[in-house]
Amino acid sequence: MAVTLREIWTEDLENIMRWRMDEDITRYMNTNPKLTLEGQKKWLAGIRENADVGYWMIEVDETAAGVINLTGLENPDGEIGWGYYVGEKRLRSIKTALSLEMSMYDYAFDTLKKKAVYGDVFSLNKGVIQLHRICGCEVVEEKKAQVCKEGVWYDVTYLCMTADRWFDIRHTKQYEKIEFRNQ
């Protein structure tokens, strides 16, 4: 499968809205949003004007599949956050997930010259935590009852990859390089 990243277009918003409200996606996210196309248009305009974030459409074999983002790009301490999801179930694969994550580290540390990348995952999402660990990410801490969603409290696992660690282990990783372009 060929994986590429591109700018998010207005034409993508219905797919993004559908994915982001899909229970299979939202069960691992902090919110269960009720989105509208008008709201999505405002969101897109907002992220296009916000230099502190970067959002890309993930395409698999030229089909829109999901979204990946970076936050804190203007953070002076060199630390950023990230997240992603592949909403099209038929296009999900471990290979794609590993390539997205490790290519993001290349972009964050080689291109953006950041010091660390942080992420957080609901602790019940053991598969994704394991995926991050396979990439070399380290668990920083696990906190109980960090997110309340619809009356249920969720534990959160916080993870980190530092530039130094990535440069030490990158040569041991095999992945398909995915190009991130500055937006």
3-class DSSP assignment, residue 143:
strand
**Cα(180)–Cα(123) distance, integer angstroms:** 28
**Cα(83)–Cα(118) distance, integer angstroms:** 9
Strand order in the sheet with 3-6: 3-6, 53-60, 63-71, 79-86, 116-122, 152-162, 138-149
So what's the pLDDT on residue 11?
Answer: 97
- Boundaries of every domain in the chain: 3-117+162-172
Q: β-strand 116-122 against 79-86: which pairing, if any? A: parallel
Amino acid letter, 43: W
| Residues comprising the chain, all counted | 183
Instruction: Calculate the CA dihedral of residues 95, 96, 102, 106 and round it to 10 degrees.
Output: 130
Q: β-strand 53-60 against 79-86: which pairing, if any? A: unpaired
Q: What is the pLDDT along the chain (183 residues), one digit of tens a residue?
A: 799 999 999 999 999 999 999 998 989 999 989 999 999 999 999 999 999 999 999 999 999 999 999 999 999 999 999 999 999 999 999 999 999 999 999 999 999 999 999 999 999 999 999 999 999 999 999 999 999 999 999 999 999 999 999 999 999 999 999 999 776
**Cα(11)–Cα(26) distance, integer angstroms:** 22
CATH of 3-117+162-172, one of 3.40.630.30, 3.10.20.30, 3.40.50.920, 1.10.1740.10: 3.40.630.30
3-class DSSP assignment, residue 40:
helix
So what's the pLDDT on residue 183?
Answer: 61
